């Protein structure tokens, strides 16, 4: 009986982890964030990082592509979010809750706007941490990834 179960398990193949072959053929995408809405841009980036638009998508595997975002300082938000949206961080000490408006965050660290929005759309586990490492955000037009020949991607 044990021999029969082993054959069924091996025949199924769905439980076996995927190979690392897809890591070698990752594509690189270049997205210009100038005057793009932050939320819509972030959902598109998260889908690319997870590999949801690929045929062989598996939610447990890192199948996604790398994304380079330029002009992060010029990303747009709708409504009055520029002044009312707050970003919080906590030091761990009593009274250590700090808040920053989107307007001040854009001046101080504009690439953090996109990192924060995209990381909220990724899984909250080891896989999510490895996915966010494939996101490269730059506040201006210059980026050091020309050697990877990124494909320009238009986001509506």
Residue 21 belongs to a domain: no
Residue 99 belongs to a domain: no
Residue 18 belongs to a domain: no
Cα separation values, 55 from 22, 51, 74, 140, Å? 12, 9, 33, 33
| CATH code for the domain in which residue 116 is found | 3.90.1180.10
Partners of residue 66 on adjacent β-strands: 28
pLDDT per 10-residue tile (average), the chain, 156 residues: 47 52 79 96 97 92 95 96 95 97 95 97 96 97 95 92
Number of domains forming the structure of the chain: 1
Residue 25 has a pLDDT of 82
pTM: 0.83
Residue 115 belongs to a domain: yes
Residue 135 belongs to a domain: yes
Residue 8 has a pLDDT of 42
Domain extent at residue 138: 26-76+110-153
The helix (H) or strand (E) run that includes residue 104 is helix 102-108
Residue 156 has a pLDDT of 82
Residue 124 belongs to a domain: yes
């Amino acid at each position: 009986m044990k021999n029969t179960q082993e054959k069924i398990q091996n025949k199924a193949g769905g439980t076996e982890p995927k190979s690392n072959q897809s890591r070698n053929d990752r594509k690189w995408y270049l997205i210009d964030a100038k005057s793009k809405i932050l939320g819509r841009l972030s959902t598109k980036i998260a889908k690319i990082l997870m590999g949801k638009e690929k045929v062989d998508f598996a939610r447990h595997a890192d199948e996604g592509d790398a994304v380079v975002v330029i002009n992060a300082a010029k990303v747009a938000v709708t409504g009055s979010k520029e002044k009312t949206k707050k970003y919080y961080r906590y030091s761990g000490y009593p009274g250590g809750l700090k808040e920053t408006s989107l307007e001040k965050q854009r001046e101080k660290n504009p690439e953090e706007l996109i990192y924060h929005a995209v990381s909220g759309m990724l899984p909250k586990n080891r896989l999510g941490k490895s996915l966010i490492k494939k996101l490269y955000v730059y506040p201006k037009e210059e980026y050091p990834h020309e050697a990877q020949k990124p494909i320009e991607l238009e986001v509506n």
